[in-house]
Each structure stands twice: as C-alpha cells, then as structure tokens.
Amino acid sequence: MAVRRAAVAAASAAALSLSLLATSCSAGGASPAADSKAQPPPKKAVATGSGGAVSSVNPYASRAGLDVLRKGGNAVDAAVATAAALGVVEPYSAGVGGGGYMVYYDAKAKKVRTIDGRETAPATMRSDSFLDRSTGKPLPSDEVINSGLSVGVPGTPATWDKALKNWGTVPLAKALRPATRIADDGFVVNDEFRAQTAMNEKRFRDFKSTTDLFLPKGELPVVGSRFRNPDLARTYRQLAREGVKALYRGGIGRDVVRTVQRPPMASGADHKARPGLMKRGDLAAYRAVHREPTRANYRGMDVYSMGPSSAGGTTVGEALNILENFHLSKADKAQALHHYLEASRISFADRNRWVGDPKFSDVPTEQLLSKDFAKDRACLIRSDKALKSPLAPGDPRHPGADCDRRTGNKEPHEGPSTTHLVTADRWGNVVSYTLTIEQTGGSAITVPKRGFLLNNELTDFDFAPLTKGTPDPNLPGPGKRPRSSMSPTIVLRDGKPMIAVGSPGGATIITTVLQTLVNRLDLGMSLPAAVAAPRISQRNQTATEAEPGFLSSPERKKLDALGHEFVLAPKTFTPAPEIGAVAALEFLPHGKISAVAEPERRGGGSAMVLKESR
C-alpha cells in the first residue's frame, strides 16, 4: 500500500510539473524538450519510393504533408498542409503574413496551372511612397525594411483557399490540422532556428510582440528546447472555423491593419518604425489570381514556371532558350558554366527592364520567351571572353538589333529569404510552391496575439526609377504586386512530369533553379548531385557570387582566365555563405519518385516518400 501511495504521489508530482511547464509556455516561446512528442522527425536529403512524395526545408513540415498523402489527400492538399507547417517551424521565411506562387500539374487534365498569391500594395501607395518628400531621394532602406510601410497585403491564405477549392480534396480546416498540432505541441529548436533568430535579434528587440514570441524571457531560444506558438495555433483554428474571410474581412485582418498602422514598439527601442498605409479595404479587395504559366521548350523538354508578376519563369526560360544555342557538356564543365553565367547575365538585364505586374505594365512575356529573341541575345556570348556587367537590356519586341554590348543598370534590391516545397501524389499530380515573407524575419513585426510575422515585400519595388526617361515597370502603385524572382518550376518530358524544383534566395532563386536544371539536364548529374553541387550566381553584376566549394574548384581557375570575377556569396538568410535551398523531386521508371532536399544548406532539408524503396 505504501508503495502504491508513493507511486501515486510521484505521478501527481509529475503531472503538476508538466502542468506548470505548460502554463509557463502558454504565451509561446521555448521550453525544455520534455517528451518524445517534441523530438523532430528523422531528416533525409533523398528518399525514393512510390505513392507520393514531399520535399521541404524542414522535417516537421514534410511529415505534415506526407500525413495528408497517407490519409488519401492529393498533392495540393499536401502542399497546403506542408506550407502551413512551414509557417510554424520556418516562421522567418513564410507564413500567414506573406505571399507566394503555386505551380500545379493536373494529371487528369494533363495541364499546368498556376496561382499568383503575391502580396499587393495598399490602395493609397504611390510611385513616390518610398521617397523622402523633402529631398526627393529614396528613404534609407533600414527605415523601410523594418516598418509598416513595407508590409504588403498578404496573399498566402488566399492561395491556400483557392488551390484547395479548385484542385484539392480536403477543406482548409483539415489541411491546417497538422500545422495547428505542431504550433500547440511545439518543435525542437535546432542550430539553424537559433542562428536565424540571432541574425535578427537586434531588430526583433525593437518590437514588443516579436520579442515576446521569439526571444523567450528576453533570450535567444536554446537549441534542444521546445518552441511553442499557441497564438498561431489559435489563428489557424480561427481560419479553420471561419475560412480566409477571417483575415480578409474579419478579426485577424483587423489586428493586421492595426499592427501595420501602429507598429508595437518595445519600450526603449532605438528604432522608430514608420506606419504603413494598409487599410481594411485593402484586405477585402485582395484576390489570388490564376495566371498562364510560362513555357520554354529546352532540348525537347517543356519547362513550365510562374509568369509575371514573378520574373522567375521569363528569366529562367529566356536563359534556357539562350543556352539552347550552345552545346553544353560535362566533358568541358568550365565552358558549360561559362555559358550558364553569360545566359543568366543577359536574361537579368532584360528582366529588370521589362517585367512587372501585368495589370499595370504591358509585359512582353511571349517575346521574352521567343526563340528568335534568345538567338539574338546569344550573339553577345563569346566562348573565350566573359561579358562585362551591367549590360543594357535588349528589346524583345524588335529582335535582330541587340548584339550590342551597351552598358545598363545594376541589379535592384530583392530580399534573400523565402522557402520552397514540392509534392506529388499517387495519381501523378505535382505541386511546386514557393512562399515568402521577403527577407529572413520579414518586417520583424509580429501581429500581437496572432503568432505570425508580417512581410516586408513592398521593398521589392524599385524605390525610384532605374533609368531617367525610361519606363520602370516595378515602381510602387496602388494595388500593385512587386516583381518577384520566385521560380517554382515543373519540367515535362513527353508530356509527363519529370522534375519539380524551386528554391528560396531572392534574386538568386532564378540562378539556383537555372543551375540545377543545367546540372541535371546538360551535365548529366543525378538530381541529388545537381542540388548538392556548389553554386554560382550571376545577375548582371560586376562580380559573380559564389559558394566556398566553387571558389576552391578547378573550374574557378578556368573561368578566371576567361575574365569572370568571383566574390564570396553574402551571409544572408543563414550564418553561412550559401546560395539557395532547393526542394525538388524527379519521376523515375517503374512508378518511382525520388524526393530531394538540400544535404547541408540551411542545416539540410527533408525529403520523404509515402512508400520508401530499399
């Protein structure tokens, strides 16, 4: 009896301890990882099998998508579930407060479809909203980045809703359940999450709601602790009950607008955040829209991606069209990389001049992707000498006169963060989905008691015209979508899906996707090798950004001899000098799928398949 009483007392003490732990964490933040539920799923960079696949940057998110597939959901259902989970475990890259682009292959219709869920500018935004009225010069970037002025109307929830209603098999409420559980139960803090928090610590401390959530007890989250976000769980439950009208016409939206207009500054903050222009009518007016995908036929394969307002599809497609004029071979890898860099340099010059929101600008999408224009631009490339940047753009409406190495403008700013996922199901449907809140940590402003950061996507607009006297399609404007580089891509071979790929990384998204395709399709690498290979990124700049692995390679010396200049890639969304973080998949013979994630970048990603093969 005494033994039993002791056991009961011990159990009561344990229950009290867990109760106190839960109470102490009810406002969010980190706590000790006290039980097995908090342990992260195993992480693999490559998984091969059948029945469906998911790849993302995080194992919690990939497992959320796989669980939906396991219960009979399709690729769209899994993509939304994965994206919602990324909003919990990758909150500095994506979430309810952001936007993105989804590319979907419909196996039944044998057709590629897309959704533009890009954020929009408020109705009162003008072309000079980022200029100092007293001087006429652009406002300091840090005053815009960490402010309500940079926050665009979120498009992510509208994208989820539209995708599920058009192509999914489950309601939004069901797709949000896995992410809601993760937000409630918590996830284990890893080195990457702590490092990204540390990179943002200074600006996070300027906002009370952000400090309260992401700096528990005023400190960086501890690696191995459990990070809970009950506020986000409640937000997801409200979206599940009320639908996305809770954001666009309801209480969540009210809180977003209040936060944008009056950023919640911390006591003693040394930064004064500018108020934003967003009003509730801007949320009510928002629509995620269907777009025609871009299409480039590359060496017999059809490469589909996202059209404007993203520049991803046109820029990757134009570069591939240029490269089709040359023979690329693994027998001369340095020469192949030389042509890849030159094609990217040229297509970026054209991107910056011509691509913007098609509702506000006459974007020559068809002409940018024409074989004639690509051939015209390819004449700039010499096999024995690198071009010098910045190059002037060509005129896709008048091909035949652009083999002139004129000087142009340098690349405009674009935030470097974002996240990407791919899914496939047993019926052959495929999703390639890139979503973002702009730079890592977005605007640094968390909506109080809602558990998510707001984007600073409007900084993707050009603050002032790039060239005086030349139309700039990417100036701010009322209801306008800023130009993006997000490049969710699906490659078809003989009309059937072959590869789905995408990446985060701001403007380097385009070069990351392009280089991965060149590695796989031209240099004969396996998809895992194509993803893991060292990256270089030329975006019409004087110097090409490069990862450390490339700078020590034999190809670097050969490209130096051709006149290329290389600099170490900046430390942007990670503490390491990395370019991109790919999530991809490839369809193999005999009904197999290979899901592929980064082996090392951003701490390594997570690839999963429903029925794994030995």
Residues 6 or more apart in contact with residue 109 via CB below 8 angstroms: none
Shortest CA distance to 303 belongs to which of 583, 492, 527? 492
Strand partners, 227: 30, 187
- Of 418, 419, 459, 572, catalytic: 418
Burial code (b: 16+ CB inside 10 Å, e: under 16) for 391-422 equals bbbbbbeebeebeeeeebbebbebbbbbbbbb
CB 459 within 8 A of CB 288: no
Say if strands 489-493 and 301-305 run parallel, antiparallel, or are unpaired.
antiparallel
Q: Supply the angle between the helices 59-70 and 75-89 in degrees, to the nearest 10.
A: 150
Cα angle for residues 299, 303, 305 (degrees, 5° grid):
160
Record the tokens describing residue 38, joined without a space.
């908090």
- For 258, counting Cβ atoms within 10 Å of its Cβ (0-12 exposed, 13-18 middle, 19+ buried), the class is middle
DSSP 398: S
CB 503 within 8 A of CB 597: no
CB 53 within 8 A of CB 428: no
**For every residue of 191-253, which 3-state class applies, written as one string?**
HHHHHHHHHHHHHHCCEHHHHHHHCHHHCCCCCCEEEECHHHHHHHHHHHHHCCHHHHCCHHH
162 φ/ψ angles, rounded to the nearest 5 degrees: -65, -45
CA distances from 331 to 207, 492, 522, 550 (A): 54, 26, 11, 18
Could you give the 3-state DSSP secondary structure of residue 608? strand
Is 407 noted as a catalytic residue in this protein?
Answer: no
The count of residues in the chain is 614
CB 247 within 8 A of CB 239: yes
Catalytic residues: 418
